[in-house]
Copies of this chain bind each other. A is one copy, B any other.
Amino acid sequence: MNAILNKVPLAEPALFRLRSLVPLAAADIDAIESAALERREVSPRCEIQVEGSSIKERLILLSGWAFHARVLRDGRRQILGYVLPGDLLGNCYHRNAVAATSVIAVTPLALCRAPTPEPDGNLSEAFAVAAATDAHYLYRHITRLGRLSAFERIADWLLEIRERLASSGLTNGHEFALPLTQELIADTLGLTNVHVNRTLQTMRRDGLIELRGGRVLILDELALNRLVDPCPLQISR
């Protein structure tokens, strides 16, 4: 793994992820790898996109965690979603596009410019599928916040994060890194840090997860899934 990373620093998770969306042409992969050679580093807590600012370029997150957020006047903050390795930023819709959210680094980040899609490759398609995937997770987040209990929210969200990290090859079986404070989790799930703490303790006590030192281990995926599995059909009234 380290050998690969040395060949083209940090491009692996992003490539793994983008190739999981659409099969990429060799030229696409080359384009991403060479873009990754000119990467920028960003420190934790740095605001890498400001809500309302104009979007100039499309970026790929190579490593680290960031989040989209909105802040209310009185200081309440809602985290709208996380940006994980392989995700796109400023996947803009039109010229003069404006950032709809602020994006803030949680950990140190490595970013690079997304290559301009060539007509003979599949990058354009990959970016479109990535946008559709993002929308899917937004819908899921709305459902989570509107209709799930605190316990269910955390369960569903942990499974979602695991799924997304797995698509970048960043899980180790049922274990993965979770470099977030409980306060960030609370701001994600519409809860308070105190209640997140208590709910996580219940999950540990029930043998559903392990969580220490910024890593999670899903012990009973079935039980977690059972809580929140959505029903795709069957519209009541």
Interface residues of chain A, those whose CB is within 8 Å of chain B, are 45, 47, 50-52, 68-73, 75-78, 80, 93-95, 97, 100-102, 104, 125, 128-129, 131-132, 135-136, 138-143, 145-147, 187-190, 228-237
Contacts and interface: CB of A to CB of B under 8 A. Distances in A.
Greatest chain B CB density within 10 A among A142, A189, A231 is at A142
Chain A interface, DSSP helix/strand/loop, else mixed: mixed
Contacts of A128: 93-94
Contact of A235 (B71, B97, B231): B71
Copies of this chain present in the complex amount to 2
A70 B132 contact: no
Given A100-B132, A143-B80, A235-B47, A125 B94 contact: yes
Contacts of A135: 93, 100, 135, 138
Contacts of A143: 70, 72, 78, 80
A131 B190 CA distance: 26
A222 to B, nearest CB: 15
Given A94-B128, A129-B94, A142-B141, A76 B45 contact: no
Contact of A138 (B50, B138, B231, B235): B138
A147 B78 contact: yes
A146 to B, nearest CB: 3
A187 B231 CA distance: 16
A141 B125 CA distance: 28
B145 A52 contact: no
Nearest to A71: B231
B72 A147 contact: yes
B71 A139 contact: no
Greatest chain B CB density within 10 A among A50, A100, A131 is at A100
A189 B146 contact: yes
29 contacts: A45-B237, A47-B235, A50-B233, A51-B232, A51-B233, A52-B232, A69-B235, A70-B140, A70-B143, A70-B230, A71-B236, A72-B143, A72-B147, A73-B229, A76-B147, A77-B147, A78-B147, A93-B128, A93-B129, A93-B131, A94-B128, A94-B132, A97-B132, A100-B135, A138-B138, A138-B142, A141-B142, A146-B188, A147-B190
B190 A136 contact: no
A146 B234 CA distance: 26
